[in-house]
Structure 1
Amino acid sequence: MPLLRFDLIEGRSDAEIQALLDAAHRAMLAAFAVPERDRYQIVHEHKPSRMIVEDTGLGIPRTDKVVLLQVTTRPRGRAAKERFYRLLVEELERSCAIQPSDVMVSIVENTDEDWSFGHGRGQFLTGELPGGGKG
C-alpha cells in the first residue's frame, strides 16, 4: 500500500529502471513488512534542466543518477523509517550502482480512510483489508 513515486533524470534503460524498482520494493518489504504484492510504483523522468536536487547545505554530491523518492504511506514509526532509508540505499547501491548520496526520500503519511484500491470503496474501512479502522 505504500505508493512510491520516483523522480529521475531521463536516460536510464528499461532494465535499469526495473532494477531500481525491484530494489526499492525489497527495501519496502523488509522495512515496513508489507505483503509482497503490495506494490505501487510510479516513475517520472525529467530532462536534466527540469530537475534540481541540491543538498540543503549538507555538502552532499549529486550526479545524473539522482533518485528523488516520495513515499505515501500509513503512519510508520521512526525505527521503520530509518530502516527503510538504510535498506533503500544499500539495495540501490548493490543492485543499481546508485551512490547513497544520490538518494533523497520524503515520506508523506496518511490514514486508512485516505485509501481506495478500486471499486469505489475504502477497503481498510470496509474490512476488506486487515488493519482497518486503526486511525
Structure 2
Amino acid sequence: MPLVRISLNKKTPAFAHGVADAIHHAMTETIGIPVGDRFQIITQHEAGELIYDPSFYDIQRTDGFIAVQITLAAGRTREVKTNLYRRITELLQERQDVRPQDVFISLLEVAPEDFSLGDGKAQFADALPPHLQKLQATADQSAPHKH
C-alpha cells in the first residue's frame, strides 16, 4: 500500500519504467511489500522544472537527479529504512546506470488508517494486512514494557 512518487528530468518511457521497477523491487526485498502492492506516480520534468541543490551536503548531483518519495505505514526500524535506501540506490545504478549521488529518497510514514485503497473505505483501520501484522508484532515485542 505504499504510494511512491518518482520525479526526474524528462527521459524515455522505458527509462522511467525501469526506475519504477527497480524501486518496487527494492521495496519487496527490504520492507516486505507484496509484489502486487504497486502504486507509483512517475512525473517527468522539462529542463528547469526540477529544482535541487547540485552540491548540498557535499554530494555532487547532476541532471540525472531522481527524487523518490514513499508514503507508507509507520513502524519500520532505522536499519530497515537504511537497507531500503541502499537497495534502491544499488538497483538504480545496476539497472538504469543512475549515479548514487543523484538518488534522493524521503519516507513519509503514516498510520494504516490514513490509506483508502478504493470504495471510500479505510481498509486497514480495523485490520492490518498480513505484511503489516508482522511489522506490528515486531514493534510490539521491541517496545519497552510498563510496570
The answer, yes or no, to whether TM exceeds 0.5 is: yes
**How far is the alpha carbon of 1:56 from its aligned partner?**
6.7
| Unmatched runs of 5 consecutive residues or more in structure 2 | 137-147
SS at match of 2:58: coil
Displacement after TM superposition at 1:127 (Å): 3.2
**Percent of paired sites with the same residue:** 33
Alpha-carbon contact 2:8-2:67 (below 8 Å) kept:
yes
Q: Indicate the residue corresponding to 2:117 in structure 1.
A: 117
Instruction: In structure 2, give the amino acid aligned to 1:80.
Output: V
Q: Which residue of 1 aligns with 2:40?
A: 41
For 1:18 and 1:115, how far apart are their aligned partners in 2? Answer: 24
Structure 1: gaps (5+ residues): none
> What letter corresponds to residue 68 of structure 1 in structure 2?
A
Which structure would you say has the larger Rg?
Answer: 2
Tell me the matched-pair count: 132
Q: Segments of 4+ in structure 1 off by > 3 A? A: 126-132
CA distance in 1, matches of 2:88, 2:36: 18
Q: Deviations over 1:30-70 (max 9, x none)?
A: 11101111111001111221111115732211112110011
- 1:19 is matched with 18
Match of 1:89 in 2: 89
Say what the alpha-carbon RMSD is for the aligned residues: 1.7
Please, what TM-score do these two structures have when normalized by structure 1?
Answer: 0.90
Counting only pairs closer than 5 Å after superposition, residues 52-131 of structure 1 correspond to structure 2 as 52-54=51-53, 57-75=56-74, 76-127=76-127, 129-130=129-130, 131=132
User: Aligned-pair distance for 1:129?
Assistant: 3.5
